[in-house]
Amino acid sequence: MRGSIPRETRIATVAYPLDREIEMGKQFSTQIELSLKLLDDRDITEYIAKVGDNIAKNSDLQMPVTFRLIDSDDVEALTLPGGYQYLSRGLLLELQSESELASVLARGIAHSQQSSKGQAA
């Protein structure tokens, strides 16, 4: 269904070489972006990237992180392989502070870092 973010699904965690994981994430990201409407707001996207990049550079993550905004009222966050993170407009509207945003982003970064090591986050 277009516009609906997939619910969390547990799958077996498999460690892939970093370049393969990034390529997989890129492919999944393309599929997601064809099925969901993205929010095109450069200022908000840059702000989220600034907060997220600061967290990522202070973590053990060894890959770039890409942040995208989904134009949806659902309160959801989605992390794909290869450091791709999606946040919904509905989630952003629920957040009360930069600290809460940082918490959501840190969780996604932790998922990326753990999956790149073949561990469940």
Query: Model confidence over 6-30: pLDDT tens digits?
Result: 454 444 456 778 888 889 989 999 9
Q: Is residue 66 part of a domain?
A: yes
User: Strand, helix or coil at 20?
Assistant: helix
User: Strand, helix or coil at 84?
Assistant: strand
Mean pLDDT of the chain: 86
Q: Is residue 2 part of a domain?
A: no
CB 38 within 8 A of CB 53: no
One-letter identity of residue 21: E
- How many domains does the chain contain in total? 1
pLDDT band at 97; cut points 50, 70, 90: very high
Q: What pTM does this model have? A: 0.80
Specify the pLDDT at position 3. Answer: 54
Domain CATH number, residue 38 = 3.30.2010.10
